[in-house]
Amino acid sequence: MQVDPVQLTVTNRKKRILLIEDNSINIHIVKDMLFRAGYEVNCATDGLEGLTMVKEFDPDLILLDVVMPEISGFEVCRRLKADPETAVIPIIFMTSESETDSIVQGFELGAVDYITKPFQFREMIARVQTHLTLRELRTSLENEIIERESLIADLSAFTHMVAHDLKNPVSNIMGFSDLLISHREGLSEQDVVASLGNIKNSGAKIHQIIDSLLLLANVRLKQVEYEPTDIKLLIYEVKSRLHTQIVDSGFELNFPEQWPKVVGYPPWIEEVLANFVSNAIKYGGIPPKAEISFSYEENDFLKVMIKDNGEGLSLEDQAKLFQPFSRFHTGIQGHGLGLSITKRIIEKLDGVVGVETELGKGATFFFTVPLAE
């Protein structure tokens, strides 16, 4: 069987098309054409049914007849364009060659094109593919604009926060260095060691901030290969990485030994786990404890939960928890950059991140990642 060359341009990605037409012969002809081209098609036989099916079927494009019972195609188009949820769906009118006024009226109402009867396969598929492509390009451009605006807003908040975070360690380094230079003869060995220790700790803090900046930049820009990932191994990596904090605080961490595999980029998922576990150590009870568990989501995702034994969060703090580079009340330091990076990572993996908490009952931070097949 010879394959029509037009089909090769439209079968790479299956799209949904809603056909609103009351003539059974036309329905059969158009459905056959669209099926041959590889589209998923649903049909409505009048305008009111079409308006209902748009919400249920969520089509990528609508083929709309002009003359129909109940309400006309023009009224259907007017209602769709007046609804923000459906206004962006491209509409192609189906009309006869003699209906010039109908063509003009259709364009005035917001239709993107028209197809004349009798229908020609190559013309119909070419017009449909053209407007589907234009919609994808428009959506991509709109998303890019939104992303750029988000980057500009983030940059302003981010610059302020990083400057604030760097100010204290830099001031410490300058202050203790000046003390060692100006008063070195009058300082005891213990004072010198203490000053050098403060300089070292401040340098480590700056190094940590720089590492966070580099990670954030990588999440924004780096293209990585996702792979099957064992979360249990990443938890052990996090325990090793936070060994000093765990020992010094007496932190207790419990988690299952058996885990399903997920799909992701292991260094990023480890960073998310490390951030949540580190926060559980810093803001947990005395001594701090946390439990990591998981549950299966309906959309083939795994939900990973880290529950601590801290004080929990107020509604006010919850509202701004994952806002870009936000801060909590003055008693809590360090959440802004870490949770902003965590949110970026999980969204890049097509998951969601959040918290379930009540004051006095601890907090359960969670994220979702796709399950491996």
- Enumerate residues 6+ apart whose C-beta is below 8 A from 172: 198, 199, 201, 202
pLDDT at 212: 64
Which position has the token pair 């590492």? 211
Predicted confidence at residue 97, as pLDDT, reads 60
Q: Which residues of the chain have pLDDT under 50?
A: 1-12, 327-335
Class of the CATH domain delimited by 224-373: alpha beta
Query: What 8-state DSSP symbol labels residue 14?
Result: -
* Torsion (CA) 129, 132, 137, 139 in degrees, nearest 10: -170
CB burial of 323-336 (b: ≥16 within 10 Å; e: otherwise) equals ebbbbbeeeeebbb
Determine the 3-state secondary structure of 228 from DSSP.
strand
User: pLDDT value at position 222?
Assistant: 63
Q: Where are the domains of the chain?
A: 7-119, 224-373
pLDDT attached to residue 204: 81
Fold of 7-119: Rossmann fold (3.40.50)
Q: In this structure, are residues 272 and 302 in contact, taking their beta carbons and an 8 Å threshold?
A: no
- Residue 164: CB atoms within 10 A of its CB come to 11
Instruction: Specify the pLDDT at position 217.
Output: 65
Token pair of 327, please? 């801060």
Q: What is the pLDDT of residue 333?
A: 44
Q: What is the pLDDT of residue 335?
A: 43
Q: What pLDDT does residue 246 have?
A: 92
Question: What pLDDT, on the 0 to 100 scale, is given for residue 317?
Answer: 72
Contact 229, 263 (CB under 8 A): yes
pLDDT of 334: 44
201-217 pLDDT tens trace = 888 878 767 776 666 66
pLDDT attached to residue 164: 65
With beta carbons less than 8 A apart as the criterion, state whether 42 and 19 touch. yes
Contact between 79 and 64 under an 8 Å Cβ cutoff? The reply is no
Of all helices (H) and strands (E), which one includes residue 336?
helix 335-348
The Cα–Cα gap between 118 and 276 comes to 63
Q: CB 34: neighbour CB atoms within 10 A? A: 22
